[in-house]
Amino acid sequence: IDSIRDFIETHREQCMTFRSVQDVKQWVAEHVSIIDQNPAAWCAVENACLDLFGKEAGLPIETLLGLPSLNGRFQYSAVLGTDNLQSFEKQLQRYRSVGFTDFKVKVTGRLQDDIDKLDRLHSFKDSKLRVRLDANNLWGDAERAWSYLKQLPGRITAIEEPLKVGDYDGCRWLAREMKVPIILDESFLRVDQFVLIQSDPLSTWIINIRVSKMGGILRALAVAKRAKEIGIPVIIGAQVGETSILTRAALTIANSYRDIVIAQEGAFGTLLLERDICDPSLMFGAGGQLDARAVSGPGLGLGLSP
């Protein structure tokens, strides 16, 4: 929080001169390295500016940015954490009871625990079931990761951040051995990092686009645009404990690039938060879906909760 406060104080006077979306775009283009150092802080500033300009113009941010209007439904993934097996089963049952079929499972590094959890998940005989893993940079080398992961049961569609941040060579090797793509999250922060992966087979990578991690909607859109040009699929990620502001910002990316989005995370609202600062609080409903009609009005379409 302190670093974000410092960022805003440092750049307050410049930001107060913004009069249009073009001013924001120009600042982003001219301050790449500054945003790289504190992407979440700039994301907060950019969201506030886009929301303000939209409300002044009476237009949603998609219209301001020349993007398709929000439309249809957005499908979210269930996220299963590193809790004990009993808690895992309760969480799994809750997700299944409302119709979730797409799951992200956190890997613990405790082999039998992970086997038991995946056994429970795959015990549901559902042809629509999709399971990906999130290892949170658990292993120091690819061979150790492979030795562990090959013992896990059931079909896995992708693995997120199995190795140390930035170990692209190790991830390439692991993707070939496991025959599943690697999801880059902490290892992919900026559009210029495509140079590190664009020559690989398209089946090697998936990019997790979290708006706050990328440094705002504009930079996230640039990453999605380049991913589409190359042919790399994306996941629209979420910050743990995010409010509806970031959930709404992510919808802009998901809606504009539906054809390359293979999964979407977040939209927990007050299902996770004790209090959401926004009204309405954006949350998925039955089947893990959020209807675009839940978001209406100019700017981000959100107000402050009382």
pLDDT in tens, 69-99: 999 999 999 999 878 899 999 999 999 999 9
Q: Taking a C-beta distance cutoff of 8 angstroms, is the pair 172, 148 a contact?
A: no
Domain that holds residue 15: 2-61
Q: Is residue 52 part of a domain?
A: yes
pLDDT at position 212 is: 97
Q: What is the DSSP letter of 124?
A: S
Mean of pLDDT values over 43-56: 98
53 CB-side CA count, 13 A: 21
Report whether 231 contacts 202 (CB < 8 A).
yes
Whole-structure pTM value:
0.95
Check residue 248 and give its pLDDT. 98
Domain for residue 44, yes or no?
yes
Of 238 and 306, the structure prediction assigns the larger pLDDT to: 238
Whether 120 is in a domain gets the answer no
Q: Give every strand in the sheet of 130-134, ordered side by side.
A: 78-80, 102-106, 130-134, 159-160, 182-184, 205-209, 234-236, 261-264
Find out whether 107 and 134 touch, Cβ atoms under 8 Å.
yes
**306 pLDDT more than 80:** no
Whether 172 is covered by a domain: the verdict is no
Q: Whole-angstrom distance between the N-terminal and C-terminal Cα of the chain? A: 23
| Long-range contacts of residues 23-26, Cβ cutoff 8 Å, at least 24 apart | 24/49, 24/50, 24/53, 24/218, 25/218
Helix (H) and strand (E) counts in the chain: 12, 12
Q: What is the mean pLDDT of residues 62-67?
A: 98
Whether 215 maps to a domain, the answer reads no
Could you report the per-residue pLDDT of 112-154, keeping only the tens digit for each? 999 999 999 999 878 889 999 999 999 999 999 999 999 999 9
Number of domains in the chain: 1
pLDDT tens-place string over residues 190-232: 999 999 999 999 999 999 999 999 999 999 999 999 999 999 9
Looking at this protein, which amino acid is placed at residue 239? Q
Q: Is residue 38 part of a domain?
A: yes
The answer to whether residue 18 is domain-embedded is yes
Indicate whether 42 belongs to any domain. yes
